[in-house]
């Protein structure tokens, strides 16, 4: 059985493979100056996590805040995201991690 240790992983940045959607895609999207929503997973990710690092580099990006990070309620989290997106004047870019990805999937299906 293969055991995987997370001790050597750097969670401040996502793996490069996840960013390589298409050559130049990320640069193109960011050049359009979009509203970016950061959607953390369970427990809101700590100060060393890549989402927090990205938000520090881009203070104009908005972290979607949930009322309860430890005990997620799907309906409540989806509604929070829906309200944030509804308040936008242009379509936002959603940057999700872990449970935040599941949130985006449920929001998209709602």
pLDDT digits (tens, 9 = 90+) for 38-60: 999 999 988 889 899 989 988 99
47 domain residue, yes or no:
no
> What CA–CA distance (Å, rounded) separates 9 from 70?
23
Q: What is the pLDDT of residue 91?
A: 85
pLDDT of residue 22: 62
pLDDT of residue 17: 43
Overall average pLDDT of the 91-101 stretch: 93
Q: Is 107 among the domain residues?
A: yes
3-state percent breakdown (helix, strand, coil) of the chain, nearest 5: 40, 10, 50
Is 94 part of a structural domain of the chain? yes
Does residue 29 sit within a domain? Answer: no
Query: Would 84 be classed as within a structural domain?
Result: yes
Residue 23 lies in a domain: no
Q: How many domains does the chain have?
A: 1
Instruction: Identify which has the larger pLDDT, 20 or 81.
Output: 81
List pLDDT tens digits, range 4-39: 444 544 555 554 445 445 667 777 777 888 899 999
Task: Tell me the residue range of the domain where 106 lies.
Answer: 75-110
Hey, is 51 helix, strand or coil?
Answer: helix
Residue 87, domain member (yes or no)? yes
């Amino acid at each position: 059985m293969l055991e995987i240790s997370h001790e050597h992983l750097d969670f401040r940045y996502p793996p490069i493979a996840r960013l390589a959607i298409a050559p130049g895609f990320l640069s193109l999207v960011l050049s359009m100056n979009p509203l970016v929503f950061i959607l953390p997973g369970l427990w809101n990710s700590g100060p060393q996590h890549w989402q927090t690092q990205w938000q520090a580099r881009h203070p104009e990006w908005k972290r979607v805040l949930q009322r309860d990070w430890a005990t997620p309620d799907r309906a409540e989290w989806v509604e929070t995201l829906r309200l944030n997106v509804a308040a936008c004047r242009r379509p936002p870019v959603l940057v999700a991690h872990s449970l935040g990805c599941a949130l985006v999937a449920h929001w998209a299906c709602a």
